[in-house]
Amino acid sequence: MVEDDIEQLRQELAVALEADDSSEISKILSTVSVAETAMLLDSLPAQQRDSIWPLIAPDDLGAVLLETQDEISDARLKLLDAEEISAIVETLADVDDQADIILALPTDKLVETLHALDAHKREKLESVLSYSEDTAGGLMNIDQVTIRADVSLDVVLRYLRIRGELPDHTDQLFVTDRHDHYLGALYLRDLLTNDPEVEVRTIMRTDIDAMNAHMSDTEVAREFEHFDLISAPIVDEKHKLIGRITIDDVVDVIRDEGDHSIMGMAGLSEEEDMFSPVLITSRRRGIWLGINLLTAFLAAYVIGFFESILDQVVALAILITIVPSMGGIAGSQTLTIAIRGLALGQLGSSNYRSLIKKEILVSLLNGLLWALVVASFSIAWFGNYGIGLVIAFALVVNLVAGALAGAVIPVVLRHIGVDPAIAGGVVLTTVTDVIGIIAFLGLATLVLG
Protein backbone atom coordinates (compact mmCIF):
# COMPACT_ATOMS: atom_id res chain seq x y z
CA MET A 1 0.00 0.00 0.00
CA VAL A 2 1.06 3.58 -0.64
CA GLU A 3 1.24 6.00 2.26
CA ASP A 4 -2.12 7.65 1.49
CA ASP A 5 -3.87 4.26 1.44
CA ILE A 6 -2.35 3.32 4.79
CA GLU A 7 -3.44 6.61 6.33
CA GLN A 8 -6.98 6.16 4.99
CA LEU A 9 -7.05 2.64 6.41
CA ARG A 10 -5.82 3.95 9.75
CA GLN A 11 -8.58 6.55 9.80
CA GLU A 12 -11.24 3.93 9.01
CA LEU A 13 -9.90 1.73 11.78
CA ALA A 14 -9.89 4.66 14.21
CA VAL A 15 -13.59 5.30 13.49
CA ALA A 16 -14.43 1.63 14.06
CA LEU A 17 -12.43 1.57 17.28
CA GLU A 18 -14.13 4.73 18.50
CA ALA A 19 -17.52 3.10 17.86
CA ASP A 20 -16.31 -0.17 19.40
CA ASP A 21 -17.58 -1.93 16.27
CA SER A 22 -15.91 -5.37 16.34
CA SER A 23 -17.50 -6.54 13.12
CA GLU A 24 -16.23 -3.49 11.21
CA ILE A 25 -12.75 -3.92 12.71
CA SER A 26 -12.72 -7.58 11.63
CA LYS A 27 -13.90 -6.57 8.16
CA ILE A 28 -11.04 -4.08 7.83
CA LEU A 29 -8.46 -6.60 9.05
CA SER A 30 -9.73 -9.19 6.55
CA THR A 31 -8.88 -6.87 3.66
CA VAL A 32 -5.22 -6.28 4.57
CA SER A 33 -2.11 -8.43 4.62
CA VAL A 34 -0.26 -9.66 7.68
CA ALA A 35 2.44 -7.00 7.22
CA GLU A 36 -0.19 -4.24 6.96
CA THR A 37 -1.94 -5.53 10.08
CA ALA A 38 1.36 -5.34 11.94
CA MET A 39 1.93 -1.81 10.63
CA LEU A 40 -1.47 -0.76 11.92
CA LEU A 41 -0.71 -2.21 15.34
CA ASP A 42 2.63 -0.39 15.43
CA SER A 43 0.89 2.92 14.77
CA LEU A 44 -1.86 2.61 17.41
CA PRO A 45 -1.83 3.41 21.15
CA ALA A 46 -1.74 0.40 23.49
CA GLN A 47 -5.43 0.65 24.47
CA GLN A 48 -6.56 0.39 20.84
CA ARG A 49 -4.19 -2.52 20.17
CA ASP A 50 -5.93 -4.45 22.96
CA SER A 51 -9.17 -4.22 20.96
CA ILE A 52 -7.53 -5.51 17.76
CA TRP A 53 -5.46 -8.49 18.96
CA PRO A 54 -8.48 -10.75 19.72
CA LEU A 55 -9.92 -10.08 16.25
CA ILE A 56 -6.87 -11.21 14.30
CA ALA A 57 -7.37 -14.61 12.63
CA PRO A 58 -5.66 -17.34 14.73
CA ASP A 59 -3.73 -18.61 11.70
CA ASP A 60 -2.30 -15.12 11.12
CA LEU A 61 -1.51 -14.23 14.73
CA GLY A 62 1.98 -15.75 14.76
CA ALA A 63 2.98 -14.01 11.52
CA VAL A 64 1.64 -10.68 12.83
CA LEU A 65 3.63 -11.06 16.06
CA LEU A 66 6.77 -11.58 13.99
CA GLU A 67 6.12 -8.45 11.93
CA THR A 68 5.34 -6.05 14.79
CA GLN A 69 8.00 -4.24 16.81
CA ASP A 70 9.63 -6.40 19.45
CA GLU A 71 8.30 -4.36 22.36
CA ILE A 72 4.74 -4.69 21.08
CA SER A 73 4.91 -8.43 20.39
CA ASP A 74 6.65 -9.07 23.74
CA ALA A 75 3.88 -7.22 25.58
CA ARG A 76 1.24 -9.35 23.85
CA LEU A 77 3.04 -12.64 24.51
CA LYS A 78 3.24 -11.83 28.23
CA LEU A 79 -0.57 -11.91 28.35
CA LEU A 80 -0.83 -15.39 26.81
CA ASP A 81 -0.38 -18.72 28.57
CA ALA A 82 1.88 -21.53 27.38
CA GLU A 83 -0.91 -23.42 25.58
CA GLU A 84 -1.96 -20.33 23.63
CA ILE A 85 1.63 -19.61 22.64
CA SER A 86 2.25 -23.21 21.58
CA ALA A 87 -0.87 -22.99 19.38
CA ILE A 88 0.59 -19.88 17.75
CA VAL A 89 3.93 -21.62 17.21
CA GLU A 90 2.14 -24.52 15.52
CA THR A 91 0.78 -22.14 12.84
CA LEU A 92 4.30 -21.09 11.78
CA ALA A 93 5.94 -23.25 9.12
CA ASP A 94 9.55 -22.14 9.53
CA VAL A 95 11.52 -23.26 12.56
CA ASP A 96 13.46 -19.98 12.70
CA ASP A 97 10.16 -18.07 12.97
CA GLN A 98 9.02 -20.42 15.72
CA ALA A 99 12.30 -19.80 17.54
CA ASP A 100 11.80 -16.03 17.30
CA ILE A 101 8.50 -16.38 19.17
CA ILE A 102 9.94 -18.75 21.77
CA LEU A 103 13.00 -16.59 22.47
CA ALA A 104 10.81 -13.59 23.27
CA LEU A 105 9.37 -15.42 26.30
CA PRO A 106 10.62 -15.28 29.88
CA THR A 107 12.47 -18.45 30.90
CA ASP A 108 9.66 -20.08 32.88
CA LYS A 109 7.07 -19.57 30.12
CA LEU A 110 9.61 -20.66 27.48
CA VAL A 111 10.04 -24.02 29.20
CA GLU A 112 6.27 -24.45 29.61
CA THR A 113 5.69 -23.67 25.94
CA LEU A 114 8.34 -26.13 24.76
CA HIS A 115 6.77 -28.87 26.88
CA ALA A 116 3.37 -28.08 25.37
CA LEU A 117 4.70 -28.82 21.86
CA ASP A 118 4.87 -32.31 20.38
CA ALA A 119 8.22 -34.09 20.72
CA HIS A 120 9.18 -33.85 17.03
CA LYS A 121 8.58 -30.09 16.81
CA ARG A 122 10.30 -29.54 20.14
CA GLU A 123 13.39 -31.41 18.95
CA LYS A 124 13.60 -29.30 15.78
CA LEU A 125 13.17 -26.11 17.78
CA GLU A 126 15.84 -27.01 20.30
CA SER A 127 18.34 -27.51 17.48
CA VAL A 128 17.90 -23.83 16.59
CA LEU A 129 17.53 -22.55 20.17
CA SER A 130 20.93 -24.01 21.04
CA TYR A 131 22.49 -21.11 19.10
CA SER A 132 22.47 -17.43 20.01
CA GLU A 133 19.75 -15.52 18.19
CA ASP A 134 22.29 -13.11 16.66
CA THR A 135 24.25 -15.89 14.94
CA ALA A 136 23.76 -17.85 11.72
CA GLY A 137 22.54 -20.81 13.79
CA GLY A 138 19.90 -18.63 15.42
CA LEU A 139 18.71 -17.37 12.04
CA MET A 140 18.73 -20.68 10.19
CA ASN A 141 15.83 -22.85 9.12
CA ILE A 142 16.41 -26.60 9.21
CA ASP A 143 13.97 -27.23 6.36
CA GLN A 144 16.22 -27.77 3.34
CA VAL A 145 16.52 -30.24 0.45
CA THR A 146 19.67 -32.40 0.30
CA ILE A 147 20.84 -34.71 -2.47
CA ARG A 148 23.81 -36.98 -3.19
CA ALA A 149 26.58 -36.24 -5.67
CA ASP A 150 26.55 -39.66 -7.36
CA VAL A 151 22.94 -39.59 -8.62
CA SER A 152 21.69 -38.34 -11.98
CA LEU A 153 19.62 -35.22 -12.50
CA ASP A 154 16.74 -37.46 -13.56
CA VAL A 155 16.78 -39.09 -10.12
CA VAL A 156 16.77 -35.67 -8.46
CA LEU A 157 13.81 -34.53 -10.58
CA ARG A 158 11.84 -37.67 -9.73
CA TYR A 159 12.65 -37.17 -6.04
CA LEU A 160 11.37 -33.58 -6.15
CA ARG A 161 8.14 -34.69 -7.86
CA ILE A 162 7.58 -37.28 -5.12
CA ARG A 163 8.32 -34.67 -2.47
CA GLY A 164 5.64 -32.46 -4.01
CA GLU A 165 6.80 -29.07 -2.74
CA LEU A 166 9.92 -27.08 -1.96
CA PRO A 167 10.66 -24.87 1.05
CA ASP A 168 10.18 -21.15 0.45
CA HIS A 169 13.06 -19.29 -1.22
CA THR A 170 14.66 -22.49 -2.50
CA ASP A 171 17.06 -21.60 -5.31
CA GLN A 172 19.56 -24.40 -4.75
CA LEU A 173 19.72 -27.98 -3.47
CA PHE A 174 22.54 -28.85 -1.09
CA VAL A 175 24.84 -31.77 -1.91
CA THR A 176 26.05 -33.87 1.03
CA ASP A 177 27.81 -37.17 1.58
CA ARG A 178 26.30 -40.10 3.49
CA HIS A 179 27.43 -38.51 6.76
CA ASP A 180 25.70 -35.20 5.95
CA HIS A 181 28.96 -33.30 5.33
CA TYR A 182 28.40 -30.36 2.99
CA LEU A 183 30.01 -30.82 -0.44
CA GLY A 184 28.43 -28.16 -2.65
CA ALA A 185 25.20 -26.93 -4.20
CA LEU A 186 23.08 -27.60 -7.27
CA TYR A 187 21.17 -24.58 -8.55
CA LEU A 188 17.65 -25.27 -9.75
CA ARG A 189 18.41 -23.52 -13.04
CA ASP A 190 21.27 -25.99 -13.65
CA LEU A 191 19.01 -28.89 -12.73
CA LEU A 192 16.39 -27.82 -15.27
CA THR A 193 18.67 -26.88 -18.15
CA ASN A 194 21.07 -29.85 -18.25
CA ASP A 195 20.76 -33.38 -19.63
CA PRO A 196 18.81 -35.56 -17.14
CA GLU A 197 21.43 -38.29 -17.49
CA VAL A 198 24.21 -36.05 -16.18
CA GLU A 199 25.32 -36.78 -12.63
CA VAL A 200 25.04 -34.13 -9.93
CA ARG A 201 28.79 -34.20 -9.25
CA THR A 202 29.58 -32.93 -12.76
CA ILE A 203 27.59 -29.70 -12.56
CA MET A 204 27.27 -28.98 -8.84
CA ARG A 205 28.93 -25.81 -7.55
CA THR A 206 31.79 -26.38 -5.13
CA ASP A 207 32.76 -22.71 -4.87
CA ILE A 208 29.74 -21.86 -2.70
CA ASP A 209 31.10 -21.84 0.84
CA ALA A 210 28.87 -22.81 3.74
CA MET A 211 28.56 -20.47 6.70
CA ASN A 212 29.48 -21.61 10.19
CA ALA A 213 26.58 -21.69 12.61
CA HIS A 214 28.43 -19.37 15.01
CA MET A 215 28.98 -16.62 12.41
CA SER A 216 27.38 -13.35 13.56
CA ASP A 217 24.18 -12.18 11.89
CA THR A 218 25.97 -9.02 10.73
CA GLU A 219 28.58 -11.11 8.91
CA VAL A 220 25.81 -13.23 7.39
CA ALA A 221 24.09 -10.12 6.03
CA ARG A 222 27.40 -8.94 4.62
CA GLU A 223 27.94 -12.26 2.81
CA PHE A 224 24.44 -12.12 1.32
CA GLU A 225 25.09 -8.58 0.11
CA HIS A 226 28.52 -9.31 -1.38
CA PHE A 227 27.51 -12.47 -3.24
CA ASP A 228 23.85 -11.61 -4.02
CA LEU A 229 22.61 -14.74 -2.26
CA ILE A 230 19.04 -15.91 -1.93
CA SER A 231 19.88 -18.77 0.40
CA ALA A 232 23.02 -20.16 2.01
CA PRO A 233 23.96 -23.46 3.71
CA ILE A 234 24.83 -23.54 7.41
CA VAL A 235 27.26 -26.09 8.87
CA ASP A 236 28.44 -27.00 12.35
CA GLU A 237 32.02 -27.39 13.60
CA LYS A 238 32.32 -30.76 11.85
CA HIS A 239 31.16 -29.23 8.54
CA LYS A 240 27.86 -31.13 8.71
CA LEU A 241 24.93 -29.43 7.02
CA ILE A 242 22.44 -28.42 9.73
CA GLY A 243 20.26 -25.82 8.01
CA ARG A 244 20.05 -22.84 5.71
CA ILE A 245 19.45 -19.11 5.85
CA THR A 246 17.18 -17.37 3.36
CA ILE A 247 17.03 -13.80 2.13
CA ASP A 248 13.87 -12.92 4.09
CA ASP A 249 15.72 -13.51 7.37
CA VAL A 250 18.66 -11.41 6.20
CA VAL A 251 16.36 -8.52 5.27
CA ASP A 252 15.14 -8.54 8.88
CA VAL A 253 18.75 -8.38 10.11
CA ILE A 254 19.53 -5.44 7.81
CA ARG A 255 16.40 -3.62 8.92
CA ASP A 256 17.22 -4.17 12.59
CA GLU A 257 20.78 -2.94 12.06
CA GLY A 258 19.47 0.18 10.35
CA ASP A 259 16.95 0.83 13.12
CA HIS A 260 19.67 0.32 15.70
CA SER A 261 21.97 2.85 14.07
CA ILE A 262 19.27 5.50 13.63
CA MET A 263 17.70 5.09 17.07
CA GLY A 264 21.07 4.68 18.73
CA MET A 265 22.18 8.13 17.59
CA ALA A 266 19.40 9.52 19.82
CA GLY A 267 20.21 7.15 22.68
CA LEU A 268 17.11 5.04 22.00
CA SER A 269 16.58 1.33 21.48
CA GLU A 270 15.55 -0.01 18.07
CA GLU A 271 12.74 -1.80 19.93
CA GLU A 272 11.26 1.51 21.07
CA ASP A 273 7.47 1.54 20.80
CA MET A 274 6.14 4.85 19.50
CA PHE A 275 3.22 4.59 21.94
CA SER A 276 4.94 2.93 24.91
CA PRO A 277 3.79 4.08 28.39
CA VAL A 278 4.84 7.59 29.38
CA LEU A 279 6.73 6.54 32.51
CA ILE A 280 8.73 3.85 30.68
CA THR A 281 9.64 6.21 27.83
CA SER A 282 10.53 8.99 30.29
CA ARG A 283 12.85 6.69 32.22
CA ARG A 284 14.66 5.51 29.09
CA ARG A 285 15.17 8.97 27.67
CA GLY A 286 15.84 10.53 31.05
CA ILE A 287 19.01 8.48 31.48
CA TRP A 288 20.59 9.96 28.37
CA LEU A 289 19.29 13.44 29.17
CA GLY A 290 20.99 13.13 32.54
CA ILE A 291 24.26 12.05 30.94
CA ASN A 292 24.02 14.95 28.50
CA LEU A 293 23.36 17.33 31.38
CA LEU A 294 26.56 16.21 33.07
CA THR A 295 28.52 16.96 29.90
CA ALA A 296 26.81 20.35 29.66
CA PHE A 297 27.87 21.15 33.23
CA LEU A 298 31.41 20.16 32.29
CA ALA A 299 31.33 22.64 29.40
CA ALA A 300 29.88 25.31 31.71
CA TYR A 301 32.62 24.59 34.26
CA VAL A 302 35.26 25.14 31.58
CA ILE A 303 33.62 28.44 30.58
CA GLY A 304 33.87 29.51 34.22
CA PHE A 305 37.66 29.61 33.93
CA PHE A 306 37.32 32.43 31.39
CA GLU A 307 34.81 34.55 33.28
CA SER A 308 37.09 37.57 33.41
CA ILE A 309 37.65 37.77 29.65
CA LEU A 310 33.90 37.31 29.02
CA ASP A 311 33.23 40.26 31.33
CA GLN A 312 35.67 42.41 29.37
CA VAL A 313 34.63 41.41 25.81
CA VAL A 314 30.86 40.92 25.50
CA ALA A 315 31.20 39.86 21.86
CA LEU A 316 32.82 36.61 23.00
CA ALA A 317 29.65 35.66 24.89
CA ILE A 318 27.62 36.28 21.74
CA LEU A 319 29.88 34.15 19.52
CA ILE A 320 30.73 31.40 22.00
CA THR A 321 28.21 28.85 20.66
CA ILE A 322 29.51 28.92 17.09
CA VAL A 323 32.79 27.05 17.58
CA PRO A 324 31.43 24.07 19.61
CA SER A 325 28.45 23.79 17.27
CA MET A 326 30.55 23.65 14.10
CA GLY A 327 32.95 21.16 15.67
CA GLY A 328 30.05 18.98 16.74
CA ILE A 329 28.62 18.86 13.21
CA ALA A 330 31.99 18.02 11.66
CA GLY A 331 32.63 15.36 14.28
CA SER A 332 29.19 13.77 13.87
CA GLN A 333 29.77 13.44 10.13
CA THR A 334 33.02 11.54 10.72
CA LEU A 335 31.43 9.56 13.58
CA THR A 336 28.64 8.38 11.28
CA ILE A 337 31.12 7.32 8.59
CA ALA A 338 33.25 5.43 11.14
CA ILE A 339 30.30 3.64 12.76
CA ARG A 340 28.98 2.62 9.35
CA GLY A 341 32.41 1.39 8.31
CA LEU A 342 32.70 -0.73 11.45
CA ALA A 343 29.19 -2.14 10.99
CA LEU A 344 29.84 -3.11 7.38
CA GLY A 345 33.31 -4.47 8.06
CA GLN A 346 34.86 -1.80 5.84
CA LEU A 347 36.98 -0.26 8.61
CA GLY A 348 39.82 -2.10 10.30
CA SER A 349 43.42 -1.78 11.42
CA SER A 350 44.67 -1.92 7.82
CA ASN A 351 42.86 1.25 6.69
CA TYR A 352 42.10 3.03 9.96
CA ARG A 353 44.98 5.51 9.63
CA SER A 354 43.96 6.33 6.07
CA LEU A 355 40.47 7.26 7.28
CA ILE A 356 41.85 9.47 10.03
CA LYS A 357 44.20 11.23 7.60
CA LYS A 358 41.42 11.79 5.07
CA GLU A 359 38.94 13.11 7.66
CA ILE A 360 41.52 15.48 9.16
CA LEU A 361 42.33 16.88 5.71
CA VAL A 362 38.60 17.31 4.94
CA SER A 363 37.98 19.09 8.25
CA LEU A 364 41.07 21.27 7.76
CA LEU A 365 39.88 22.35 4.31
CA ASN A 366 36.36 23.04 5.54
CA GLY A 367 37.76 24.71 8.65
CA LEU A 368 39.83 27.17 6.65
CA LEU A 369 36.89 27.95 4.35
CA TRP A 370 34.33 28.58 7.10
CA ALA A 371 36.88 30.24 9.37
CA LEU A 372 37.31 32.89 6.68
CA VAL A 373 33.54 33.36 6.44
CA VAL A 374 33.00 33.56 10.22
CA ALA A 375 36.01 35.83 10.75
CA SER A 376 34.80 38.24 8.06
CA PHE A 377 31.31 38.30 9.54
CA SER A 378 32.63 38.85 13.09
CA ILE A 379 34.94 41.68 12.03
CA ALA A 380 32.12 43.39 10.14
CA TRP A 381 29.78 42.96 13.11
CA PHE A 382 32.06 44.04 15.97
CA GLY A 383 34.75 46.00 14.13
CA ASN A 384 37.46 44.03 15.95
CA TYR A 385 40.12 42.18 13.97
CA GLY A 386 41.29 40.37 17.11
CA ILE A 387 37.90 38.70 17.57
CA GLY A 388 37.91 37.64 13.92
CA LEU A 389 41.36 36.09 14.29
CA VAL A 390 40.41 34.29 17.52
CA ILE A 391 37.23 32.71 16.22
CA ALA A 392 38.84 31.71 12.91
CA PHE A 393 41.69 29.90 14.65
CA ALA A 394 39.37 28.24 17.19
CA LEU A 395 37.04 27.07 14.42
CA VAL A 396 39.85 25.34 12.52
CA VAL A 397 41.16 23.70 15.71
CA ASN A 398 37.75 22.41 16.75
CA LEU A 399 36.79 21.08 13.31
CA VAL A 400 40.04 19.11 13.17
CA ALA A 401 39.54 17.91 16.75
CA GLY A 402 35.94 16.93 15.99
CA ALA A 403 36.97 14.89 12.93
CA LEU A 404 39.74 13.16 14.88
CA ALA A 405 37.38 12.40 17.77
CA GLY A 406 34.68 11.17 15.39
CA ALA A 407 37.11 8.64 13.92
CA VAL A 408 38.68 7.53 17.20
CA ILE A 409 35.67 7.34 19.53
CA PRO A 410 33.80 4.46 17.78
CA VAL A 411 36.91 2.27 17.72
CA VAL A 412 37.70 2.95 21.39
CA LEU A 413 34.11 2.36 22.48
CA ARG A 414 33.89 -0.91 20.58
CA HIS A 415 37.21 -2.02 22.09
CA ILE A 416 35.85 -1.54 25.63
CA GLY A 417 32.54 -3.21 24.78
CA VAL A 418 30.31 -0.13 24.50
CA ASP A 419 27.98 0.34 21.52
CA PRO A 420 29.32 3.30 19.49
CA ALA A 421 25.90 3.96 17.94
CA ILE A 422 24.43 4.74 21.36
CA ALA A 423 27.29 6.31 23.33
CA GLY A 424 29.34 7.86 20.52
CA GLY A 425 27.25 11.01 20.14
CA VAL A 426 27.38 11.88 23.84
CA VAL A 427 31.15 11.42 24.05
CA LEU A 428 31.70 13.39 20.84
CA THR A 429 29.56 16.30 22.05
CA THR A 430 31.60 16.51 25.25
CA VAL A 431 34.90 16.52 23.35
CA THR A 432 33.91 19.17 20.80
CA ASP A 433 32.27 21.40 23.43
CA VAL A 434 35.25 21.36 25.75
CA ILE A 435 37.92 21.71 23.07
CA GLY A 436 35.93 24.39 21.24
CA ILE A 437 35.49 26.47 24.39
CA ILE A 438 39.12 26.13 25.45
CA ALA A 439 40.39 26.99 21.95
CA PHE A 440 38.08 30.00 21.59
CA LEU A 441 38.27 31.53 25.06
CA GLY A 442 41.86 30.45 25.68
CA LEU A 443 43.14 32.22 22.60
CA ALA A 444 40.84 35.17 23.35
CA THR A 445 42.48 35.50 26.74
CA LEU A 446 45.92 35.60 25.11
CA VAL A 447 45.02 37.98 22.29
CA LEU A 448 42.37 40.23 23.86
CA GLY A 449 43.08 39.94 27.55
Cβ atoms of 166 and 159 closer than 8 Å: no
Whole-angstrom distance, CA of residue 56 vs CA of residue 240: 40
* Rounded Cα gap, residues 336 and 318, in angstroms: 30
Please state which CATH number belongs to domain 146-262: 3.10.580.10
Which fold would CATH assign to domain 278-448?
Tetracycline Repressor; domain 2 (1.10.357)
CB neighbours of residue 341 within 10 Å: 18
Q: What is the pLDDT of residue 284?
A: 66
Q: What is the pTM of this model?
A: 0.65
pLDDT less than 50: residues of the chain: none
Cβ atoms within 10 A of the Cβ of 425, count? 24
Report the CATH number of the 3-136 domain.
1.25.60.10
Q: For the chain, which residues make up each domain, given as ranges? A: 3-136, 146-262, 278-448
| pLDDT for res 161 | 94
DSSP-derived secondary structure for 73-87: HHHHHHTS-HHHHHH
| pLDDT, tens only, 335-345 | 988 888 887 67
Distances (CA, A) of 430 to 24, 310, 327, 358, 417: 54, 21, 11, 23, 20
**Rounded distance, CA 255 to CA 260, Å?**
9
- How many angstroms separate the CA atoms of 401 and 17, rounded? 54
Residue 308's contacts (CB-CB under 8 Å, 6 or more residues apart) are 449
- Residues 6+ away with beta carbon under 8 Å from 6: 36, 39
Residue 185 β-bridge partners? 174, 205
Looking at the chain, the number of H-run helices and the number of E-run strands are 23, 6
Domains 3-136 and 278-448 share a fold: no
Q: Using an 8 Å Cβ cutoff, are 141 and 202 in contact?
A: no
Q: Are 323 and 391 in contact (CB under 8 A)?
A: yes
pLDDT on residue 4: 66
